[in-house]
Amino acid sequence: MRILVVEDEEVIADVIATKLRALRYEVDVSLDGEDGLYNALSNIYDLIILDIMLPKVNGLEILKEIKENDISAKVIMLTAKSELEDKLKGFEIGADDYVTKPFHIEELIARVNVQLRNTKNHKVKDVLEYSDLSLNIRTSILTCVSTNESINIPYREFLLLEYFMNNKEQIIAKEQIYDKVWGIDTDYESNNLEAYLSFLRKKIKIIGSKVSIKAVRNLGYKMEE
């Protein structure tokens, strides 16, 4: 799951991002409203944590754009106590929740978890299943249920596999994979998607699964039996 944090106070942004990453969320940070708006409109996020007082473009304007562009991400607003009016405006525009500054990081995390649990397309489950594969997203252990063999999946391959299992039997474009797994600011050529895919294919094969990740010429990749 990918989360965007739009917050101009670097220390706060850091605390939030560090905590979320420790919980295995993929996190991108925007330190001003312009960058935040640009990233938000990429529509690759499951959730956006959005400060209101931001340089260049404020959080309410960003929220408005998010809603007008049908971006599916859940939005949690960060508001100062004195910004009650902003908070109400935020709800009017369509924020899903808000947290008042100063906040305890655990409170924010609890609200993030509630929002992601409510997300219909991406249910937060402990286990993802496809065909004879079962991926435990807490432990990163991949099991083939027909052979009962298991293997530990390293971080980047885990993100890849999770994305494929959430989009099984669909063709996924290379660009989508890069955006989702490496983040939108990445230099495409430097991350060598093919290499990671081949590591992942090898692991799927080692545990005896009949699932494969096929290249579809000029279109991308597809996970199938």
Binding site for Ca ion (CB under 5 A): 8, 51, 53
Q: Which is nearer to Ca ion, 8 or 83 (CB)?
A: 8
Q: Which is nearer to Ca ion, 77 or 133 (CB)?
A: 77
Q: Which is nearer to Ca ion, 101 or 210 (CB)?
A: 101
Kindly state the smallest distance separating residue 80's Cβ from Ca ion, in Å: 8
Q: Which is nearer to Ca ion, 57 or 151 (CB)?
A: 57
Dump the DSSP string for 124-174.
--SEEEETTEEEETTTTEEEETTTTEEEE--HHHHHHHHHHHHTTTSEE-H
Kindly state the smallest distance separating residue 101's Cβ from Ca ion, in Å: 8
> Is residue 106 within 8 Å of residue 117, measured between CB atoms?
no
CA–CA separation, 13 and 30 (whole Å): 9
Residue nearest to Ca ion (CB): 53
Q: Which is nearer to Ca ion, 53 or 141 (CB)?
A: 53
Kindly state the smallest distance separating residue 85's Cβ from Ca ion, in Å: 16
Q: To which H or E segment does residue 47 belong?
A: strand 47-51
Query: By three-state DSSP, how is residue 118 classified?
Result: helix
Kindly state the smallest distance separating residue 99's Cβ from Ca ion, in Å: 13
Task: With CA atoms as reference, report the closest residue to 77 among 139, 66, 129.
Answer: 66
Kindly state the smallest distance separating residue 29's Cβ from Ca ion, in Å: 13
Strand-pairing partners, residue 97, are: 76
